[in-house]
Chain A
Amino acid sequence: MKVDSGKKGLVINLLSLIGLVVLWHLLVILARENIFNIPFIRLRDVPTPVETWYALIGSLFTKTYGPALTVGILEHTQASLLRVIEGGIIAFIIGVPLGIGIGYSKPIGNVLNPIIEIVRNMPPMAWIPLAVFILVAGGSIFIVFIGTVFPIILNTIHGVKSTDLRLIDAAKTLGASGSQMITKVIIPSAFPSIIAGLRIGLGVGWMAIVAAEMVIRSPIGLGYFIWNMGELGRYPEMVAGMIVIGVIGYIMNISILLLQKRFVKWVD
């Protein structure tokens, strides 16, 4: 029964995706045949799913045309992923201790909370000009860091604050010192929350990296790729890049969920 309904769900999932592709195809074809067009959208410029598929296959690998290296989507993806991972690691290293400090100690919280409350409301995109004009290097990684660090901090604070007081009492009576309380009770208890923060943060970081790469130009990265292809009028490649961005974001999210399920066994 359960297996059956699971399969049914999967079939519906697939059908919905197929439906989207068919609708997409129809809209483009109808626009190209001058039968129907949505106002303000040049739908005829949108590549069909088939054109997009061929563009994706054709641009997966880096190709050489004489002196020109046309960097493939895989290499762009790798570069963007690497930036997100680097920015994410820095955000994790800085965000988790900060979150623990703020969540655990009132004075630290009083000092840092107002700063965090203001700064976290500046979206990562708002930092792009600063990264472009003031930072000399690592602008994209910095933008990922900004996007990732606040969800990590906030979720860590939440995790620390929602630590069961009875567990703290239990640890106290069992003789835990202040630092042992942090390492042996607070951190493990906040761990699922910290991982959730990492997951949300990396999601934001992934969106931020694509935006950053459009502005902070290094000749490699998915955001750069889709913008470049758009500028050259190569819309099938552009849309293929967009789809890759979506799929990678989805895979990242699912991977962390699965990792969490695997390593945080105590939460059912």
Chain B
Amino acid sequence: MGRLILKDISKKFNDFLALENVNFEVEDGEFVCLLGPSGCGKTTILRLAAGLDSPTDGEIFLDGKKIAGTNKECGFVFQEYALFPWRTAKGNIEFGPQVKGCSKEECERISRHYIDLVGLRGFEDHFPHELSGGMKQRVGIARAYANKPKLLLMDEPFGALDAQTRNIMQAELLRIWEKEHISVLFVTHSVDEAVYLADRVVVMSARPGTVKEIFGINLPRPRIRTSPEANALRDAILRSLGSEIKRAASI
């Protein structure tokens, strides 16, 4: 469950062509990273997949169902957390179950489970402004998971974190992903992060955004960041991406 297909996707904002002819898939249970120069349309792809926006051309399918209108079967983790500031950590996690009409006990049970899963025990009753960046993103992830999505869309979730926390969060994410086993489409600017996390890496080119190259990463987990295979892949991806970034800058 959780097979995402993007077919001939184009997206125009007024006259500006942001995406052109984007084609790729996220297999069931697969972890795919999206890499590309700034402004190439990564966030736009996630928003289209979530049904928050609709493509100008082409179609998107989740488990064979065409996406039209907000896609309630995917969880979105935003770059700037986007937590409800008036809700506690627990309250944020319970938002999805609550709007679905779960009973109070059911909501409690779900939030307890995910608070434990992301390691936030003891911080349930903290408001977002009382949490660190890493903690906020854990809440964001837990909130997305608590909605039992088939597909998790993550937009540079660890971009604002320091390197240390980032590494820890990556490991945590993999742990949770393995446990819950859902598909993930993960946007990042960090090749290192992509090589550490992904089953496949989609590299995009800019203006208009389209898929340039796809790399499969068949390394066993837990991966060693500095293994020769990892280094080789990183170099290959960086080369592909680097020429794109240069091109984007020169346009």
Within 8 A of B (CB), among A164-187: 164, 166-167, 169-177, 180, 184-185
For residue B140, give the distance in angstroms from its CB to the closest CB of chain A.
9
Known interface pairs A180-B99, A266-B128, A268-B129; A174-B82 also in contact (CB < 8 Å): no
Assess the A184–B95 pair: CB atoms within 8 A: yes
Known interface pairs A166-B78, A188-B84, A266-B85; A173-B127 also in contact (CB < 8 Å): no
Assess the A166–B95 pair: CB atoms within 8 A: no
Within 8 A of A (CB), among B85-134: 85-87, 95-96, 98-100, 127-129
Assess the A177–B85 pair: CB atoms within 8 A: no
Residues of A within 8 A of B144 (CB): 173
Q: How far is the CA of A166 from the CA of B82 in the complex (A)?
A: 6
Cβ-based interface call for B71 (8 A): yes
Q: How far is the CA of A170 from the CA of B47 in the complex (A)?
A: 11
Residues of A within 8 A of B87 (CB): 188
Residues of A within 8 A of B47 (CB): 169
Q: Which of A173, A175, A188 contacts B52 (CB 8 A)?
A: A173
Within 8 A of A (CB), among B51-71: 52, 70-71
Residues of A within 8 A of B71 (CB): 173
Q: How far is the CA of A264 from the CA of B127 in the complex (A)?
A: 11
The main secondary structure of chain A at its interface with chain B is helix
Q: How far is the CA of A191 from the CA of B87 in the complex (A)?
A: 13
Known interface pairs A172-B70, A175-B72, A175-B147; A167-B99 also in contact (CB < 8 Å): no
Interface size on A, residues (CB 8 A): 23
Most chain A beta-carbon contacts within 10 A, residue among B80, B82, B100: B82
Q: How far is the CA of A178 from the CA of B127 in the complex (A)?
A: 25
Assess the B99–A172 pair: CB atoms within 8 A: no
Assess the A173–B72 pair: CB atoms within 8 A: yes
Give A172's nearest chain B residue, CB to CB: B70
Assess the A174–B147 pair: CB atoms within 8 A: yes
Cβ-based interface call for B209 (8 A): no
For residue A266, give the distance in angstroms from its CB to the closest CB of chain B.
4
Cβ-based interface call for B208 (8 A): no
For residue A250, give the distance in angstroms from its CB to the closest CB of chain B.
29
Residues of B within 8 A of A171 (CB): 84, 95, 99
Within 8 A of B (CB), among A9-24: none
Within 8 A of A (CB), among B13-65: 47, 50, 52
Q: How far is the CA of A254 from the CA of B60 in the complex (A)?
A: 55
Q: How far is the CA of A177 from the CA of B84 in the complex (A)?
A: 16
Q: Which of A166, A174, A176, A268 contacts B143 (CB 8 A)?
A: A174
Residues of A within 8 A of B75 (CB): 173-174
Chain A 185-199 interface 0/1 with B at a Cβ cutoff of 8 Å (1 = within): 100110100000000
Q: How far is the CA of A191 from the CA of B70 in the complex (A)?
A: 26
Assess the A170–B128 pair: CB atoms within 8 A: no
Cβ-based interface call for B74 (8 A): yes
Chain A 145-175 interface 0/1 with B at a Cβ cutoff of 8 Å (1 = within): 0000000000000000000101101111111
Chain A 77-118 interface 0/1 with B at a Cβ cutoff of 8 Å (1 = within): 000000000000000000000000000000000000000000
17 sampled A-B residue pairs with Cβ under 8 A: A167-B82, A169-B47, A169-B50, A171-B95, A172-B52, A173-B50, A173-B70, A173-B74, A174-B95, A174-B96, A174-B99, A175-B96, A177-B99, A184-B95, A189-B86, A264-B86, A265-B127
User: Measuring CB to CB, which residues of chain A are less than 8 angstroms from any residue of chain B?
Assistant: 164, 166-167, 169-177, 180, 184-185, 188-189, 191, 264-268
